Amino acid sequence: MIYRASCHCGRIALEIDGEIGPVIDCNCSICQRRGHLLWFVPLDKLRLLTPAADLSTYTFNKHVIKHRFCPHCGCGPFGEGVDPAGHAIAAINVRCIEGIDLASLTIRPYDGRSK
């Protein structure tokens, strides 16, 4: 299935190809503050519909995750990183997916604060 997602103002738009399984509710300092619920997919399953130059990027701590966000509205629809096996992945903020029913998702807590 192909899902469409965007930032709040719509200047950053993307499509994700896949099936949403369990999503992660991480308690690290950024995810907790921003309220992200994350769905991880291979990076090649994400397609930007807007120019990458329109994105802003924030990194912190070990600087291994690129937190992508809109410089106009501040909304962060996804991040980029590498999984433990070395594969490029995208962490999709499912709250940014159009028409998503959050109550239908399986949400798993993740202790990112201790990592």
| pLDDT reported for residue 2 | 97
Q: Where are the domains of the chain?
A: 2-111
> How far apart, in whole angstroms, are the C-alpha atoms of residue 50 and residue 54?
7
Which residue, among 85, 80, 92, has the nearest Cα to 21 in the 3D structure? 92
pLDDT for the residue numbered 50: 94
CA angle 10, 7, 103 (to 5 degrees): 120
Supply the pLDDT for residue 64. 83
Distances (CA, A) of 109 to 35, 81, 88, 112, 113: 12, 19, 22, 9, 11
Architecture in CATH of 2-111: Beta Complex (2.170)
Average pLDDT along the chain, 115 residues, taken 10 residues at a time: 97 97 94 94 97 93 90 96 95 97 96 87
